[in-house]
A and B are shown apart, each in its own frame.
Chain A
Amino acid sequence: NAGVTQTPKFQVLKTGQSMTLQCAQDMNHEYMSWYRQDPGMGLRLIHYSVGAGITDQGEVPNGYNVSRSTTEDFPLRLLSAAPSQTSVYFCASSSSPWANVLTFGAGSRLTVL
């Protein structure tokens, strides 16, 4: 079982560039989410999805876009990258949002110059 797979692991962007962080899970989990981790800030929720076709905003959604066309995939898009988006991004999934343990991907380190 691959679990939650994130790509790429590392990415360097210039301000204004766009990119997509990919997230895929093979556990048939309905719930998927994206967090960002910044030094001294813990993890903060960006966007989440409770199933295919359903997405919603988390605590820090500005500058990010998501879609959920399949149960397996939950990509995170940066339309116009800014230095403030330099962070480590984690995708996570669980069978349902409530009370279940999140399975995290390995993380994607993004640097915006």
Chain B
Amino acid sequence: AQKVTQAQTEISVVEKEDVTLDCVYETRDTTYYLFWYKQPPSGELVFLIRRNSFDEQNEISGRYSWNFQKSTSSFNFTITASQVVDSAVYFCALSEGSSGGGADGLTFGKGTHLIIQP
């Protein structure tokens, strides 16, 4: 069974600090996709990144970066020079292809509530 663990329930940092959100996943499939979504206080879910299991290259998008390591089954998310607007709940999610072609949806972690204090 697939599983996603976000062990950090809540993180609080002061603005401009760097912060890393951890995500550990479990899957028996060799083909899968990993995602990060952001849920700001307004409640909507905003897609941040998708990574397939065959691409272990790290990705950087502005102040955001992602580190995918298959050896440790982790897909961690780092925000550099955090800002108050980064305050949100962040979800890591996993989609496998072998069971129903992924139709059984995403398996989400429980989320990490990130608080950026001014």
Contacts and interface: CB of A to CB of B under 8 A. Distances in A.
Nearest to B110: A42
A60 B89 CA distance: 22
Interface residues of B, number: 25
Contact of A42 (B35, B103, B104, B109): B109
B110 A101 contact: no
B62 interface: no
Given A50-B103, A97-B103, A43 B91 contact: yes
Q: Secondary structure of the A side of the interface?
A: strand
Contacts of B91: 42-43
Contacts of A40: 9, 110
Interface of A: 31, 33, 35, 40-45, 48, 50, 56, 58, 88, 90, 92, 96-99, 101-104, 106-107
